[in-house]
Structure 1
Amino acid sequence: MTYTVNCSILLTELPLLERPAAAKAAGFDAVEFWWPFDTSVPTEAEITRFENAITDAGVQLTGLNFNAGNMPGGDRGLVSWPARSAEFLDNIDVVAGIGERLGCKAFNALYGNRIDGELEERQDAVGAENLATAAAGVARIGGTVLLEPVSGAPQYPLLTAADALKVIARVKEDAGTENIKLLADFYHLAVNGDDVSTVIENHAKDFGHIQIADKPGRGAPGTGELPLGEWIARSRELGYEGYIGLEYKEPQESAFSWAIRHRAAR
């Protein structure tokens, strides 16, 4: 199965560390997470409990976010936030260590909101430098840094694939970085008005990861209007070989009904 369950947005009725086992019980072999700790450098005990929850469940960790700040409070990353740059840098070795022990290779770095009182040029310079440092930090384990356009965050500057690709191109030009790629979240792109079909045609072979949810509502596939199945199939035809991240909102009892129907139809 090529799907990976985002356990930070799904199965939220359960404690965080019980969700990998619930994903396995639902028939999935892979999971991904937003940053699962309150700080950039959690204790060894906290890290061990998280890692054990993955390995004990018998699932593969396929993706992990760098610390993105207080997400419920509106933060969307520390990468381009000058005052919290040190927190992001301190997070890199922790993320790479978890990835190395669990065999995870994909690491999502949310770019960060625009900060009042900070020049956009300074934020973008800090962002490019921090992304290059993060990419170097995970390169030692064969990892890739992902950069994602996001919807629903008014101060977040990366809305379209072109926005993210422009930053990626800057990092590559400035630092010679090769292991940074676009995270194509079809829901975010569609909500922000991007032409998802064109993005796929032009960049599918270069996607670092795909995530899906339906529009409107950010619900499960089939609950809205997006042709997610067609987009996934076309991405595959054009060379994307990775997992499909399930990053939508749905109650636990119906979270994977669409997948059960799909398996039955096959």
Structure 2
Amino acid sequence: MNYTVNASILLTDLPLKDRPQAVADAGFTRAEFWWPFPTPTPSNSEIDEFVNSLEAAGVQLTGLNFYAGDMPGGERGVLSQPARAEEFRANIEPVLKIARATGCTAFNALYGNRVDGENPAAQDRLGVENLRQAADAVAQIDGVVLLEPVSGTDAYPLKTAADALSIIEKAGRDNIRLLADFYHLAANGDDVAKVVEEHAADFGHIQIADHPGRNEPGTGKLPLEKWLERSAELGYDGVVGLEYKASHNDPFAWLPRESRA
């Protein structure tokens, strides 16, 4: 397997601009990030600093989230929220600028929590519309939009693979794919082994953390290695995102250095 480090959940003791070098120092050559700026439309200088930090470290950006609102405050995307959807649309051009500068082609569009007082069906119609707009935009660079089931937030409506696949089907774009985060799926009670058997060849991306705890592989009870091996056997040939919370001083001690690059 080829691994990519999620440097938004790992290495958080370092400033953002120093994390790509820390990824390289740990022996990896790939990284992914949540949206790394506080607003959907960062300045050119902010974008340049981010891109330059990756280039200086020799680290390939493999994945990037669209703007998802205030993640520490509990927001999980804005694209299906009527009052926030314009922020998502405004974010598309900065995402494309980073993509063109880095060669990144995978973009996670967190769907957004349900909003009190808003019709869920209307939110879904808006979500599908904005997913289509994002997919059409990143198609210019042969990009893929990823849709992810998420745990830990009751208001987030996509909790299982089936939930996300239903929205993907409605959107009707070939370049919208399921992001299979094995931790989130397991935490929500989904049958991960069945999801792998039925959909691995069509996964847009895989992310891993162990459960319970959301820490390194081997700290919980999930058969992550088995699921990854089976996904590869069934046709998944992408990278695997390490999106877990470090429970030790060395967050990568579980993975031999020769397996990281």
Query: How does the TM-score come out when normalised to structure 2?
Result: 0.97
Deviation per CA, 1:100-135: give whole Å up to 9, x if none: 110000000000000001000110000000000000
**2:66 is matched with which residue?**
66
More helix by share: 1
Query: What is the Cα deviation at residue 16 of structure 1?
Result: 1.3
**2:166 is matched with which residue?**
166
Contact 2:27 2:257 survives alignment (8 Å): no
**1:224 is matched with which residue?**
220
Q: What is the rounded CA distance, in whole Å, between the counterparts of 2:244 and 2:232 in structure 1?
A: 21
**2:75 is matched with which residue?**
75
Contact 2:76 2:112 survives alignment (8 Å): yes
**1:203 is matched with which residue?**
199
Matching of residues 2-151 of structure 1 within 5 Å: 2-151=2-151
Query: What is the Cα deviation at residue 96 of structure 1?
Result: 1.3
Q: What is the rounded CA distance, in whole Å, between the counterparts of 1:257 and 1:145 in structure 2?
A: 31
Contact 1:212 1:247 survives alignment (8 Å): yes
Q: What is the rounded CA distance, in whole Å, between the counterparts of 2:104 and 2:257 in structure 1?
A: 29
Query: What is the Cα deviation at residue 178 of structure 1?
Result: 1.2
Matching of residues 158-197 of structure 1 within 5 Å: 158-172=158-172, 177-197=173-193
Aligned to 1:32, what secondary structure does the other structure show? strand
Contact 1:11 1:252 survives alignment (8 Å): no
Cα 1:262–1:187 change in 2 (3 A) is: farther
Deviation per CA, 1:193-222: give whole Å up to 9, x if none: 000000000000000000000000000001
Aligned to 2:84, what secondary structure does the other structure show? helix
Answering whether residue 218 of structure 2 is matched by residue 234 of structure 1, we say: no
Query: What is the Cα deviation at residue 252 of structure 1?
Result: 6.6
Query: What is the Cα deviation at residue 142 of structure 1?
Result: 0.5
Q: What is the rounded CA distance, in whole Å, between the counterparts of 1:7 and 1:245 in structure 2?
A: 10
> Mind listing any 5+ residue stretches in structure 1 that lack a counterpart?
none
Aligned to 1:257, what secondary structure does the other structure show? coil
Aligned to 1:89, what secondary structure does the other structure show? helix
Contact 2:67 2:77 survives alignment (8 Å): yes
Aligned to 1:254, what secondary structure does the other structure show? coil
Q: Which amino acid aligns with 1:242?
A: G
Contact 2:150 2:158 survives alignment (8 Å): yes
Q: CA RMSD in A?
A: 1.3
**Percent of matched pairs sharing the same residue:** 61
**1:154 is matched with which residue?**
154
Contact 1:3 1:245 survives alignment (8 Å): yes
Q: Which residue of the other structure, out of 218, 243, 248, is the alignment partner of 2:239? A: 243
Contact 1:206 1:240 survives alignment (8 Å): yes
Contact 1:128 1:171 survives alignment (8 Å): yes
More off after superposition, 67-76 vs 89-98? 89-98
Query: What is the Cα deviation at residue 260 of structure 1?
Result: 2.5
Q: Which amino acid aligns with 2:79?
A: V
Aligned to 2:32, what secondary structure does the other structure show? strand
Contact 1:11 1:251 survives alignment (8 Å): no
Cα 1:201–1:136 change in 2 (3 A) is: same
Deviation per CA, 1:148-172: give whole Å up to 9, x if none: 0000011000000000000000000
